[in-house]
Amino acid sequence: MKDKVVIITGGSSGIGYALAEAFGANGSKIMITGRKQEALDEATNKLEAKGIEVISFQSDVSKEEDNQKMAEAAVKHFGRIDILINNAGISMRALFSELDLSVVKRVMDINFYGALYATKYCLSEIEKNQGSVVGISSIAGYRGLPARTGYSASKFALQGFLEVLRTEMLKKNVHVLTACPGFTASNIRKSSLTADGSHQGDSPRKEEKMMTAEECANHIYKATKKRKKFLTLTTQGKLTVFLNKWIPGFMDKVVYNVMAKEENSPFK
């Protein structure tokens, strides 16, 4: 991975920042993106202090033109793009019956269309360099989670897109990885949207009992290096995917009960 140019969307915090650390520590040149310049500046300074070559680019992945400008800026600065990690994402928590549908659109625009746009404008460079496209999906992309309509739908869509891309790129030696973390400690639940689109605030789950963002990022780094097609993380995550394939009716009850135990659960 030395001297590979890696773009990480949503790279100023959480798994995105941990990925920048993991790839940068192994000699990659990093571009992190995000909507908030202050957060990007802080992350860039911390990464540079670790000896990582990094630049930031302020952009909103849900805007197609921002993704085009992002790819152009990376090529202008580094001269190439080798790896794109579609990490930027947002979650939500509300029952579908109570949900303002604009929340679903907002989640889809970031989690699905953001990855679509970024990949579209980086792909020619990645194809030229026989590089990698990585999509940070979720166990929710295999198993629909109650009260996560927009999130699960966006991850199912993302995985369908990545499967198509992987197949289309088969003869062009472009690597496509679908990475599915289980519950990972990050800020995604704190910024999660509620039924009316407002931010949830505190996480409803015990973050300290989850896989750390750093551990998750190291797994993704190794899977990218080995050019793996799929990565499913945590014992709970792997078990959920396996059981849902064979006994989905039973898993409906299990998943319902698990999610209903969350603090301030929307289940009555």
Catalytic positions? 151
In this structure, the chain runs to a length of 268
Give the neighbor-by-neighbor strand order of the sheet with 29-34. Answer: 54-58, 29-34, 5-8, 83-86, 132-136, 175-180, 230-232
Cβ–Cβ under 8 Å, residues 190 and 202: yes
- Helix, strand, or coil here: 101? helix
Using DSSP bridges, classify how beta strands 5-8 and 175-180 pair: parallel, antiparallel or unpaired: unpaired
Query: Which residues contact residue 144 at a Cβ distance below 8 angstroms, ignoring those fewer than 6 apart?
Result: 152, 156
Q: How far apart are CA 203 and CA 10, in angstroms?
A: 19
In the chain, how many H helices and how many E strands?
9, 7
